[in-house]
């Protein structure tokens, strides 16, 4: 897998942020190449006292232009540097694709840069 050349890119925006005792929840929406309109929810849980890193769990739904829906769980980790979060996770879509995904999340602008690399093609 060549990490210098993603198989797809996209842009999402944070649509909701909820602070919880040991982390926070984020909702996202936007467009991702090859996946159409994307809606996601992530739970980020801190594993360090300085709240600079942790685990990520979530779920996504995508709506393709032809009306099909693709669902996938997300599981990974994140690193926070001030108001910037870098998340790394895998997904396993219900249409058979498995992707390694990175998101660069800016909490101040609510902008999210998405990159993914296909580890397994859809069935």
pLDDT digits (tens, 9 = 90+) for 14-32: 999 999 999 999 999 999 9
In a domain, 44, yes or no: yes
In a domain, 95, yes or no: yes
Q: Taking all residues of the chain, what is their mean pLDDT, rounded to a whole number?
A: 95
Domain that holds residue 81: 8-120
1, 50, 86, 120 from 106: Cα distances, Å: 26, 19, 9, 29
- Confidence check: pLDDT of 1 > 70: no
Q: What span, in angstroms and rounded, lies between the C-alpha atoms of 62 and 123?
A: 17
pLDDT tens-place string over residues 67-94: 999 999 999 999 999 999 999 999 999 9
In a domain, 3, yes or no: no
Into how many domains does the chain fold? Answer: 1
In a domain, 69, yes or no: yes
Q: What is the pLDDT of residue 22?
A: 95
In a domain, 1, yes or no: no
Q: What span, in angstroms and rounded, lies between the C-alpha atoms of 108 and 22?
A: 20
Whether the CB-CB separation of 76 and 90 falls below 8 Å is answered with yes
């Amino acid at each position: 897998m060549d990490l210098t050349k993603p198989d797809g890119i996209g842009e999402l925006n944070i649509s909701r942020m909820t602070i919880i005792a040991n982390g926070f929840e984020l909702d996202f929406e936007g467009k991702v190449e090859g996946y159409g309109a994307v809606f996601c929810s992530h739970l980020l849980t801190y594993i360090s006292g300085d709240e600079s890193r942790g685990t990520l769990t979530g779920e996504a739904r995508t709506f393709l232009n032809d009306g099909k829906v693709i669902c996938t769980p997300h599981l990974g980790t994140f690193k926070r540097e001030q108001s910037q979060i870098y998340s790394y996770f895998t997904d396993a879509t219900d249409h058979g694709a498995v992707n390694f995904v990175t998101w660069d999340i800016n909490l101040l602008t609510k902008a999210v840069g998405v990159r993914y690399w296909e580890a397994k093609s859809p069935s």
